[in-house]
Amino acid sequence: MRVTQPLKRNLQQIPEDIATVCGDRSHTWSQLVHRISALAGGLVNLGLKPQERVAIVALNSDLYLETIFAAPWAGGVIVPINYRWSAPEIAFALNDSGTKIIFVDETFSDVVPDLKKLVEHELTVVSLDDAFEGCDEIYEDLVSKSTELPEFENNENDISGIFYTGGTTGRSKGVMLTHGNHISNTLQFTAMMETSPDMVFLHAAPTFHIADALFIYLVTHIGGKHVFIPRFDPVLSAQAIQDQKITDVILVPTMIQMLLEMENFENYDFASLQRLYYGASPMPEAVAKDLISKLPHSKAYHLYGQTESAPLLTCLDSKYHVTDGPFAGRLRSAGRAMPAVELKIVDSEGNECPRGEIGEIIARGPNIMKGYWGQEELTKNTVKNGWLHTGDAARMDEGGFIFISDRLKDMIISGGENVYSAEVENAMYQFSDISQCAVIGVPDDKWGERVHAIVVLEENSNASEQDLIMHCRSLIADFKCPRSVTFRKEPLPLSGAGKVLKTELRKPFWEGKSKQVN
């Protein structure tokens, strides 16, 4: 149970099959394993020891995949970094995890000088491209000049990756996923879905995200083909699907909507696309119906989970993506538990709710995380007696289908990205003119939800909406910053315990909605 084992299997069975395609570049499984083992040797030459961390901040590419596998091949732990983060956010993850080696491509090279100042220990920067200011090594030099390293045989309880997510306290959480977590979720997927070595998968969603990382491991496990485009773009995606005969892709609903609504959609050939997976945020029913209408030959699967579950907990099978017939009525559902996942809806006391009653989703299985890096108390509060408490509110029907209705934790999902209100509020309160502030999610036709701030300014302040947004952009990633601001004169409503009543603030925006997520 180690993520690198399938590489050796593919080398043994299909060495001359194409493994990766990135632009004009392609590698067979034999070439790929050679490059990964050589890169692993380079990491050891840089001082990497077992269970030490290796970070990467880069656009999607075959080099990203090589790095993801080279770190554990050398006995290390991969730390994929959200490339939309600001320098202080990236530096926090590097400091928190003690990461001493980071791979950076030229797109994000501007952040390196800041990282060198903000990271509290010596940092070795490897450029995935040519040399740039602050880089210490060149990727291809590491590969070409290093001796191939035999695979370090990790065990299933060793940490394979640390995936950082936002936090309700404003501090990011490093989710520790083991080799066993990843392989278990891969096998759970293959038991539930149609998979074969004929799969040609398009990495269009960001590879740093756990949803796309799932397919890094899955496609490798079954010996399929990885195709990369740098980042999601409707035209690039459609062109790749047509030219590379893509069979499978995962996208968030916002991306699917952009793809379906792009100009000249009908001019592209989507005949090869057999399966389209979506998740990370709820699918608007109008988009789901458009998907069924425009890609009737493609099977759609709704995947629900979170980073803490590596990530899959449930799946809504393609046969339920219909608007009439015996399987109609489940289109709004997030599906049923994956194989080897136990799922329950519980009340505040931990008692299982009757079917149809709303409570919190909890789950257990071999894919549940080892814990949060360096946060034992938070781990204990999240995983209780082996059960992961998701923080999502839902009901379960008589068939075991779950219908998500709200979030118990103070989180916004905008365009598939998790935004914790506390992180945004922490940034907002560093603006001297703010007296009170609350950040909530409000419905948005394009992004599902958008980040909205409700602010009480100090007396005589003339601060504008743009002033506050620009202030936030200097501290946190752009996708976390408020897209809109409401100014009020009266104080924010408070509970008896002195907490801001966000339920009251949300009401005007969500009036008429059947559920409090969009």
For the chain, the domains span 5-231, 345-409, 416-510
SS3 of 179, please? helix
Contact 57, 81 (CB under 8 A): yes
- C-alpha closest to that of 486 among 457, 513, 515: 457
Per the model's pLDDT, the better-predicted residue between 446 and 118 turns out to be 118
SS3 485: strand
Q: Answer yes or no: is pLDDT of 497 > 60.
A: no
| Three-class SS state of 97 | helix
Domain 416-510 part of CATH 3.60.20.10:
no
Residue 214 pLDDT class (50, 70, 90 cuts): very high
Q: Would you state the structure tokens that stand for residue 25, as one six-digit string?
A: 């570049």
pLDDT recorded at residue 41:
98
Lowest mean pLDDT among 55-69, 83-97, 430-444: 430-444
Q: How high is the pLDDT of residue 498?
A: 62
Average pLDDT rounded to a whole number, residues 449-476: 92
Each residue's pLDDT tens digit, 114-139: 999 999 999 999 999 999 999 999 99
Of residues 386, 385, 402, the one with CA closest to residue 394:
402
Mean pLDDT calculated for residue range 304-320:
95
d(CA 3, CA 161): 10
Structure tokens at 518: 């969009």
* DSSP conformational letter for 166: -
Indicate the range of 189-193, 427-431, 482-486 predicted with least confidence.
Answer: 427-431
Could you say which architecture CATH assigns to the domain 345-409?
A: Roll (2.30)
pTM, 2 dp: 0.86
Helix (H, G, I), strand (E, B) or coil at 483: coil
Buried b vs exposed e over 311-342: b needs ≥16 C-beta within 10 Å? bbbbbbbbebbeeeeeeeebbbbbbbbbeebe
In contact, 320 and 303? CB cutoff 8 Å: no
Q: Could you tell me the pLDDT band of residue 495, with boundaries at 50, 70 and 90?
A: low
| Superfamily classification of domain 5-231 | ANL, N-terminal domain (3.40.50.12780)
* Tally of residues, the chain: 518
CB 171 within 8 A of CB 420: no
- Dihedral sign from CA coordinates of 334, 339, 341, 347: positive
Q: Examine the pLDDT at 220 and tell me if it is beyond 60.
A: yes
130: helix, coil or strand? coil
Residue type, 120: E
pLDDT single digits (tens) 16-35: 999 999 999 999 999 999 99
Averaged confidence pLDDT in the chain: 93
Are both 5-231 and 416-510 of the same fold? no
∠ CA 158-159-165, rounded to 5°:
160
Within 13 A of 354's CA, how many CA atoms are on the CB side? 0
pLDDT at 350 over 60: yes
Range with the poorest average pLDDT among 217-231, 428-442, 472-486, 503-517: 503-517
Type of residue at 104: V
Tokens of 462: 């003339």
Rg (CA), the chain: 23
Indicate whether 347 pLDDT > 70.
Answer: yes
Q: Which amino acid is at 1?
A: M
* φ, ψ at 330 (rounded to 5°): -110, 5
User: Model confidence at 496, in pLDDT bands (50, 70, 90)?
Assistant: low
The pLDDT value given to residue 328: 83
- How much of the chain exceeds pLDDT 90, in percent? 75
Place of tokens 């897209």: 483
Helix/strand/coil (H/E/C) assignment for every residue in 415-482: CCEEEEHHHHHHHHCCCCCEEEEEEEEEEECCCEEEEEEEEEECCCCCCCHHHHHHHHHCCCCHHHCC
Can you list the alpha helix ranges (DSSP code H) found in 130-209? 139-145, 179-192
Tell me the two tokens of residue 163. Answer: 């995936």
**Dist CA 363 CA 384 (whole Å):** 10
